[in-house]
Amino acid sequence: MKKTQKKKSDFFANMLDRIEVIGNKLPQPVTLFAILMGVTLLLSWFFGGIAVDHPGKAAGLLDRNGLPVDTIEVINLLSRDGFQMIMTKMVSTFALFPPLGLVLVVMLGIGVAEYTGMISVALRLFVSKVPKSFITFSIVVAGMISSVAADAGYVVLIPLGGAIFMGMGRHPLAGIAAAFAGVSGGFGANLFPTGLDPMIAAFTEPAAQIIDPSYTVNPLSNYYLMAASVPFVGLAGTWVTEKILMPRLGEYKPTADIEIEEEQSITRQERKALTWSFVSVFVISILVALTIIPADGLLRGDIDPETGVRSMRPFYDSLVPIMFIGFFVAGLVYGIVAKTIKSDKDVTNMTAKSMSTMGMYIVIAFVAAQFVAYFNWSNLGSVLAVKGSDGLNAIGFTGAPLLVAFIIVSSVVNLIMGSASAKWALLAPIFVPMLMLMDYSPETTQAAYRIGDSYSNILTPLLPYFPLVIVFAQKYVKDVGIGTLISMMLPFAIAFALVRIPMLLLWIWAGIPLGVEGPIYYAP
């Protein structure tokens, strides 16, 4: 590399070293939520009794009991009644925590699809079938699509990207970077629904109900925007790879101690199995369509008195079970044909293995559930939202600048707190009600968060898979370190931010729905 490039690399390495030192001093998510629980209890005691006018007062909003709302008062949870509520509802608060059941159900199906080998083969086939001139674009896009299988893209597609570029005579680090950019930097953008959709919506809905108790959030409320983002993020990733990264890396010359494995080909049996799994998904899609296309379909609801048409609510509420069935059946068919499933015991073991990887998430869900409950019971979020929105309106900080500022805040928090659900559990009760009071829908706030939560993923060594990517890169270049990886990924992060933030603003300006039942503005 040139001296100027080395200086830039040293600068990025020093910057990331500082972030790593600061981040390592922060507690783990479980401890962090436990601390926040204690802080919430103390704040509820300190500010107990403070009240503000409820924003729904003038509109005649009613609470869940049908009584008119008037004011919102901070409740002291360290009082006798508050302590009893904490103790008596601790178990039910955890058991009924919406993201817990949603994620575990989806992961049961994804586990079968992943451990039979279906996901790995599908990704390899995807990138092997496109022309070489589109290979970079296909790797970035495949990275985004891989999120349907949770973290499979990290362990499958990223090393595959390096192997593909190596086989084409190009620098393998560029292939690793392109795949990493798609998997992690393009996180959330996808042509298909993923487990992230219901997980994020499950936090958004109770946050919205702080202001409007009857508000519901569809898991696919951001789908149109996220699906439309895929080609633009793919093009941005391709441009950075070809115009910035490849010239900077130059020609690849492996040293004598570098052992390069040959790319594993897809067998005839795997192709056959994948074909039958696709057929099974197609059949399931037809069956699902038959439950909603007929006017009296099984997943159609009550007749809307205004339109005379049965609602789609039962279908929307069934999206998670449908995703579970789709992944489960596709994985099951693939496993049987590919002979990676030989008995029902194999299927049971795969689902159990999938659940075993969720142990940390379950622990985080317990403390997150208690924190969210404390925050809601105390009304601290409601009062903070009212005070915050009044203050922002007073200084004129609204509209596009407010959304951009929120996206930047989300991306900064992402540098020190990796879990998307954990961050949203923390931010949603504050920002969703606040922006609702400034006329933005919960779905818009959620979309802004998802953008901020994506492009900075590839810049933080606190990402659990960051060290793994370095290991993949060291297979080809032994001295790759944090600074090397960050210097490669920073252009991707900047490009993705410059694509996705303006796209959201243009989307809002055009008034296009963000997704299925995904309004831009909140109308009480």
Look at residue 1 in the predicted model and tell me its pLDDT: 44
Q: What is the mean pLDDT of residues 387-397?
A: 65
Among the listed residues 267, 191, 272, the one whose alpha carbon sits nearest the alpha carbon of residue 225: 191
Q: Is residue 6 part of a domain?
A: no
Distance CA 84, CA 91 (A): 13
Asked whether the beta carbons of 188 and 447 are under 8 A apart, the reply is no
Residue 258, pLDDT > 60, answer no
Look at residue 99 in the predicted model and tell me its pLDDT: 65
Count CB neighbours of 88 within 10 A. Answer: 10
One-letter amino acid at 147 equals: S
Domains of the chain: total: 1
Look at residue 391 in the predicted model and tell me its pLDDT: 67
**Nearest 5°: CA angle at 333, between 327 and 337?**
145
Q: Can you give the residue range of the structural domain that contains 410?
A: 11-510
Q: What is the mean pLDDT of residues 223-250?
A: 91
φ, ψ for residue 53 (rounded to 5)? -65, 135
* Tokens 């609702």, located at residue: 436
Residue 267, pLDDT > 70, answer yes
Look at residue 222 in the predicted model and tell me its pLDDT: 93
Distance CA 414, CA 168 (A): 35
- Structure confidence at residue 524 as a pLDDT band (50, 70, 90): confident
Distance CA 46, CA 123 (A): 54
The sign of the torsion formed by the CA atoms of 80, 82, 85, 88 equals negative
Q: Which of 119-128, 183-192, 197-206, 389-398 has the lowest mean pLDDT?
A: 389-398
Asked whether the beta carbons of 149 and 326 are under 8 A apart, the reply is no
Cβ-count burial 225-252 (b if 16+ within 10 Å, e if not): bbbebbebbbebbbbbbeebbbebbeeb
Look at residue 58 in the predicted model and tell me its pLDDT: 43
Q: Is residue 516 part of a domain?
A: no
Look at residue 365 in the predicted model and tell me its pLDDT: 79
Look at residue 262 in the predicted model and tell me its pLDDT: 54
- Which three-class secondary structure state does DSSP give residue 131? coil
Q: What secondary structure letter does DSSP report for 261?
A: P
Q: Is residue 110 part of a domain?
A: yes
- Which three-class secondary structure state does DSSP give residue 52? strand
Burial of 281 (0-12, 13-18, 19+ CB in 10 A): middle
Q: Is residue 111 part of a domain?
A: yes
Q: Which of 60-69, 214-223, 260-269, 502-511 has the lowest mean pLDDT?
A: 60-69
Q: Is residue 2 part of a domain?
A: no
- Structure confidence at residue 390 as a pLDDT band (50, 70, 90): low
Q: What secondary structure letter does DSSP report for 267?
A: P
Q: Is residue 242 part of a domain?
A: yes
Q: What is the mean pLDDT of residues 345-374?
A: 83
Look at residue 273 in the predicted model and tell me its pLDDT: 93
Q: Which residue has the higher pLDDT, 355 or 385?
A: 355
What are the tens digits of pLDDT across the range 66-112? 555 567 788 999 999 999 999 999 999 998 876 677 678 877 887 88
Among the listed residues 488, 430, 429, the one whose alpha carbon sits nearest the alpha carbon of residue 459: 488
Look at residue 109 in the predicted model and tell me its pLDDT: 84
Residue 50, pLDDT > 90, answer no
**213: region left, alpha or beta (phi > 0 left; psi from -120 to 50 alpha):** alpha
Look at residue 202 in the predicted model and tell me its pLDDT: 83
In the chain, % of residues over pLDDT 90: 25
Q: What is the mean pLDDT of residues 432-441?
A: 87
Q: Is residue 241 part of a domain?
A: yes
Give the total residue count for the chain. 524
Mean pLDDT of the chain: 80
Question: What is the three-state SS of 284-318?
Answer: HHHHHHHHHCCCCCCCCCCECCCCCCECCHHHHHC
Q: Is residue 518 part of a domain?
A: no
Q: Which of 57-66, 198-207, 356-365, 408-417 has the lowest mean pLDDT?
A: 57-66
Among the listed residues 435, 370, 379, the one whose alpha carbon sits nearest the alpha carbon of residue 407: 435
One-letter amino acid at 245 equals: L
CA atoms within 13 A on the CB side of 73: 8
Look at residue 42 in the predicted model and tell me its pLDDT: 94
One-letter amino acid at 279 equals: V
Distance CA 150, CA 141 (A): 15
Look at residue 12 in the predicted model and tell me its pLDDT: 43
What are the tens digits of pLDDT across the range 468-508? 788 788 888 887 777 778 788 888 999 999 999 999 999 99
